[in-house]
């Protein structure tokens, strides 16, 4: 990879990452759709077997997994924050790869 192109790519990636991180609007976790019966004896889930669906976030901290319920009115916001976290993670990985390429170029004396 060309050194000038590498630096340009690195700067663009860092800029994108800083925009995402600066907003601070991301969540680490995995979305999980759960189907359940609500408990109301007159509800369609009990009478017709049409289960309710709910969104949860599966989160692992210190080796312990927890499930966090997401109310319907917050589902879109939470999904966007989960996607933003994945972008942060991907951009961080991209920056690391660019820096590894730079390290290899320096080792070979291509700088």
DSSP structural state of residue 15:
H
pLDDT at 25: 84
pLDDT band at residue 105 using 50, 70 and 90 as cut-offs: confident
pTM here is 0.75
- Residue in the structure block whose two tokens are 């999904």: 79
User: Which of 85, 70, 72, 87 shows the shortest CA–CA distance to 32?
Assistant: 70
3-state secondary structure 53-84: EEEEEEEEECCEEEEEEECHHHHHHHHHHHHH
pLDDT digits over 55-104, tens only? 999 999 888 999 999 999 999 999 999 999 999 899 989 999 988 988 88
């Amino acid at each position: 990879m060309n050194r000038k192109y590498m630096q340009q790519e690195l700067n663009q990636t860092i800029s994108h990452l800083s925009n995402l991180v600066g907003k601070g609007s991301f969540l680490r976790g995995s979305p999980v759709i759960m189907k359940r019966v609500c408990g109301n004896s007159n509800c369609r889930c009990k009478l017709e077997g049409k289960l309710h669906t709910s969104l949860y976030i599966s989160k692992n901290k210190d080796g312990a997994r927890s499930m966090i319920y997401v109310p319907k009115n917050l589902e879109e916001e939470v999904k966007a924050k989960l996607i933003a976290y994945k972008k942060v993670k991907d951009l961080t990985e991209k920056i690391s790869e660019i820096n590894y390429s730079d390290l290899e170029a320096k080792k070979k004396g291509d700088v």
